Amino acid sequence: MSPRQAVDAHELRAAVAVVLPWLSGGADQPERSVLAAAVRLSLRTLEQIAPGHSVEVRVPPFAAVQCVAGPRHTRGTPPNVVETDPRTWLELATDRLRWADAVRDGRVNASGSRADISALLPILRMD
C-alpha cells in the first residue's frame, strides 16, 4: 500500500465546516459525498496524529483506518476496534461530544485494550 498524502488542514476545515450546521441540529443531513469527505479527511488526520496499526477505527459506510502505535494487526478481526456512525464520529472529532458519553450511550463500540482513543480527540476544533 502506498503512503497516504498528508491531509491539508484547510481542506479538512472546509470539509467539516460544511457539515457543522447538521451537527448542530440546524440542517438536514448533508449529501453523501459531502459527509463522506468530512469523515474520510478526519479519519486520515487521525492516522497522521497517531500513526500505527494497533487500533482500527471504522465509520461505515465511508472509511476505516488503522492507527495507534503498537502491535500490527494483519489478518482477521483486529483485537482493538472502534466503530461508530458518521455523525457520532464527526461530533467526537470536532469536540461536540465526549468519548465517555458516546461509549456510555452506545454510540461508539470500542473493544480491546487499546481501543480508548479519547486522548486523541478532538481532531479539530471549529470555534
In a domain, 89, yes or no: yes
35, 18 in Cβ contact below 8 A?
A: no
**What pLDDT, in 10s, does the model give residues 46-89?**
999 999 989 999 999 999 999 999 877 666 677 899 999 999 99
In a domain, 18, yes or no: yes
Q: Which three cell numbers stand for residue 22?
A: 447538521
CA-nearest of 83, 26, 35 to 60 is: 83
In a domain, 124, yes or no: no
In a domain, 1, yes or no: no
Q: Residue 3 pLDDT > 70, yes or no?
A: no
The predicted model scores a pTM of 0.92
Range of the domain at 37: 9-118
CA-nearest of 88, 97, 89 to 40 is: 89
Q: CA angle at residue 39 from 37 to 40, to 5 degrees?
A: 65
**What pLDDT, in 10s, does the model give residues 15-30?**
999 999 999 998 899 9
Q: What percent of the chain has pLDDT over 90?
A: 80
Count of domains forming the chain:
1
